[in-house]
Structure 1
C-alpha cells in the first residue's frame, strides 16, 4: 500500500508542485528510490510500531509525519527537492499526514475483515 500511495502522490506532485533531483525526462523516475524504498519502509514501520508497541495512533501518525516532513525539509535545504506553484513545507506535512492516515486505515480495514490480526 505504501508503494501505491507513494507513486500516486509523487506522480501527481511531480507534475504540479515539486521535483526531486536529479531530474530525468520522465519526471517520475526522480522519485523512484523514494517510491519503492523509503516510503514503503516507513509505512511498514508505522504499522509495526502500532502493532508491537501499542503506541497511541495519533501520536504515532504525527511522529511519522514530522519525521518524513523533516527528511524532505533537509532535501529542500540541500537542493534535492524543489517546490513550485505555491507548494510549501506545510503542504508537504499535510500530504504525508493524509498518506499515513490512508495506510493506517487500510491496515484497520484488513484487521476488521480478519485478513490480518490486530
Structure 2
C-alpha cells in the first residue's frame, strides 16, 4: 500500500508542481488565483464523481477525500496554471493550447485507467472525461479572463 501511495504523491502532486513552478515562477498571480480556484473545482467534482460511483481512484482509502487529494491539489491545479500561463502570458493561439491540453489530460487519464489507477463505472467513459476536462479548461479560462479584467479596473 505504501508504494502506490508514494507513486501517486510523486506523479500526482510533486512532479506537476515542479514543472509548473519551473515554467511559471515569474507569475505568482497565477499560483495565487488559478490554482485555488481549480483545486476547489477539482475537489468538488471528484468527490461528486466518486460518491456517485462514476469512477474509483486507487489505492482506495477509508476516507473518500484522500483518494483524490494528489490530483485535487497537485495535477489539476498545476495543469491549470500552465494552461493559463501559456494562453495569457505566452499568448499562444487559444485553440492550439486547448487542443494540446485536452490531448495531454485525456491521454494521462487513459494511462491511469490502463495502469489501474482509475476504474470507470459502466456509466462513465473516456469521452465523458474529455468533456469534463474541456469544461474545466473553459472555466479556468473564463475565471482568469474576468479576474484579469477586474484587476485592470482596480
User: Which TM-score applies when normalising by structure 2?
Assistant: 0.71
1:37-80: per-residue Cα shift (whole Å, max 9, x none)?
11110010011111232111122122112211111100100111
Q: CA RMSD in A?
A: 1.4
CA–CA distance in 1 between the matches of 2:41 and 2:137? 9
**Aligned residue-pair number:** 116
Larger Rg: 2
Equivalent residue number for residue 64 of structure 2: 27
Q: Which ranges of structure 2 fall in alignment gaps of 5 or more residues?
A: 1-36
Deviates more, 1:8-17 or 1:75-84: 8-17
1:12-56: per-residue Cα shift (whole Å, max 9, x none)?
111121111001122221110111111110010011111232111
Aligned match for 2:47, one of 1, 5, 11: 11
CA–CA distance in 2 between the matches of 1:28 and 1:71? 21
Q: Which ranges of structure 1 fall in alignment gaps of 5 or more residues?
A: none
Runs of 4+ in 1 over 6 A off after TM superposition: none
Where do 1:1-118 residues align within 5 Å? 1-16=37-52, 17-114=54-151
The answer to whether the 8 Å contact 1:62/1:97 transfers is no
User: Which TM-score applies when normalising by structure 1?
Assistant: 0.91
The answer to whether the 8 Å contact 1:19/1:27 transfers is no
Name the structure where helix makes up a greater proportion of residues: 2
